[in-house]
Structures are given as C-alpha cells and as structure tokens.
Amino acid sequence: MRARILLLPGSQQGEALCACAEQILTDISAAFDHVFSLLRGKIGPEVSDKTLDACETSQAILLGDAQCEGAQALYDALDLPLRIRSFCVPEALCSRHETPVKLFLGTALSLDADTLRLAMQSAFRFAQDEDIRILHVAPTGATKAEWEAAVRVQTAAQPLVTADAVAAKDAMKNLIKAPQKMGLLLCPPYAGGILEAAATGLCAHPEIMYDFAIDQDTGVYAPFASFLEEAEDAPAPFAMALAIARMLRISLKLPREAACLEAAIQNVLANHWLPKKQAENSPSMLDLICEQIAVAGELMGKGGIQA
C-alpha cells in the first residue's frame, strides 16, 4: 500500500524520536513491500494552516513528544474527541510472579455534545478491538446526563463491551490496587488529567508509555517523551516504536505489520533491556529493533504468516 505519514517532532527529544520513527517505518515498508511517504512538519503553540493542511492530507500523524507545547493545540485544531494513554507493560518486562499490566486511560477532549458522542464511539470501538472492559467516570454537573446517555447509546450499539460506572475516588483506589483489571478507564477532561497523572506516576516502566488521539478518520500517535531517559545519543525508542505499532493497526489497517513490530519490540525487551547506558560499541536499541523487524518480516512479510 501507499501511505502518507506526517512527523511532527515538537521538541529536541522529539527530533531524535522522529528519526527513530523514520528508520522503523523504512524497515517495515521494506519487509512488507509498502511505500510510506514520510513528511516532516512543524508544531508550536498555534497550529499553522500549512501544518493543518499536511495533517488533513496524511493517513496518520506521528508527534515526537506527547507533552510538547503544541500537542493540545493540534488535538483542538483537528477536532479530535478522545486521547488514550497506554500503560501496557509487555510480558518481557514482567517477572514470573507479575501479571502484565494492560491499562489504557481515555480522556474525552471536550464535553460538547457532538464531541462527546464521537469520543464514546471511539472508546467503545477501541475496547471491542482490544477485548477489554470500560470503567467510566461521569462528570459532575449538567453534562453528567449527556455522558450517561452517550454511554447507554454505545452500550446498545456495542453489546460485547462491558461498561461500568465508577466514582473518581474508587478509580484511584483501583489504579493502586489492581491496575491490570481495569481495561480502559474513560474520563471527562478534569478527572482524566488527575487520574492520568496518578497512573503515570504509578507506571513502573514509563519508557514505554505513549498517547494516541483518534476519531474515525484521523489519528495522532506520540511517545510520552518527557519520561524518556536523557542521553548523549538517541533516546530509547520503545515508546515511539509502540506508538507506530498502534498507528499501523488503527490508522493504516495493517495488523500483520503491527504484529511484526510488536514481536520485534518484545524480542528486544526480552533479551536486551538495558535501562542504563549501554556499553561502548554495542548496538543501539533502535538497531536491535530493526534487526528483529527484518527477522519477523521474513516470516510475516510479503504474503507470509498472518497476524
């Protein structure tokens, strides 16, 4: 397939991570015989018309830093209804006695009635695709009834998704006691900010956290770069690689390619996870991931094993 992907660095670390993204996507396209047009743009406190035009003509957008100054402005300019933060911990990072955490925290980006309806549609569709439950924290005040009505509509439309209401204080307790049982925690903007900060603080492996903001036609994917280790060389690429896998799966509808990249990440984490600075002359984490893409691509690419 041919796809146009826009990269928006957003910060100095974002520049390095976008360079990682270019190498990963080049190797994925080679393994699966795709043509990805990788474009670079600029992002700031205000989204320029040029950047917005580039976003609207791209199949997917990679933001180099989810916490950069222009992230929220970009979500607003694109009218994105829902942002999800992934706290998934791959099995390779868990001991034999730990349960892998698969927690997503979704924040509705507005309580406007139309935006809320789209946010609920996206949340329930995502929960069904991931085969996870939804716990939702209703807003207080006048918008509570609209929130609950939107949940009822999607519960009827997506009967395979379990959706239960939870109070904000109980959601906080569950985050601490049993995050692996929560699935998708869905919140309005204010509660989402508080619970997101709590979950981020509790996450044992912030180097693999990433955000994605989605609607039916547009997706913005971004590593949580502010938590990535500062280093003289390129930062650890795991969060960006996982964000790219999510982009391949959701926006580009390429599940085999996403599975290939996820397998590459898992293999590297299982055998080469080095939280401290690597030994001199050792291959970088990015090189190891790309080597594993080539290995997995031999099996899965160009008509091979299906995901």
Question: Tokens 């609209």 appear where?
Answer: 146
Q: What is the percent of the chain with per-residue pLDDT over 90, rounded to a whole number?
A: 62
pLDDT band at 301 (very low <50, low <70, confident <90, very high): low
Q: What is the mean pLDDT of the chain?
A: 87
Give pLDDT, residue 58: 96
Nearest 5 degrees, angle CA 124-CA 24-CA 238?
65
User: What mean pLDDT comes out for the span 19-29?
Assistant: 96
What the chain holds in terms of domains, given with CATH numbers, is 1-93+209-307 (3.40.718.10), 102-203 (3.40.50.2300)
Residue 242 has pLDDT above 90, yes or no: yes
Q: How far, in Å, CA of 260 to CA of 181, rounded?
A: 27
Instruction: Could you list the beta-strand ranges (E) of the chain.
Output: 2-8, 35-40, 60-63, 82-86, 103-108, 134-136, 163-165, 183-187, 210-214, 219-223
Q: What is the rounded distance in angstroms from the CA atom of residue 104 to the CA atom of residue 107? A: 10
Q: What is the pLDDT of residues 163-204, one digit of tens each?
A: 999 999 999 998 888 888 899 999 999 888 888 888 887 776
Query: What is 215-279 written as a DSSP string?
Result: -SS-EEEEE-GGGSPP-SSPPP-HHHHHHHHHHHHHTS--HHHHHHHHHHHHHHHHHH--SSPPP
pLDDT band at 64 (very low <50, low <70, confident <90, very high): very high
pLDDT at 277: 47
What confidence tens digit (pLDDT) does each residue in 93-151 have?
A: 777 767 777 899 999 999 999 999 999 999 999 999 999 999 999 998 889 999 999 99
Q: Distance between CA atoms of 107 and 80, rounded to whole angstroms?
A: 11
Check if the beta carbon of residue 29 is closer than 8 Å to that of residue 36.
yes
Confidence of residue 241 (pLDDT cuts 50, 70, 90): very high
- DSSP assigned state of 6: E
Question: Is the predicted pLDDT of residue 281 greater than 80, yes or no?
Answer: no
Q: How large is the greatest C-alpha to C-alpha distance in the chain, in angstroms?
A: 60
List residues bridging with 135 in a β-sheet. Answer: 164, 185
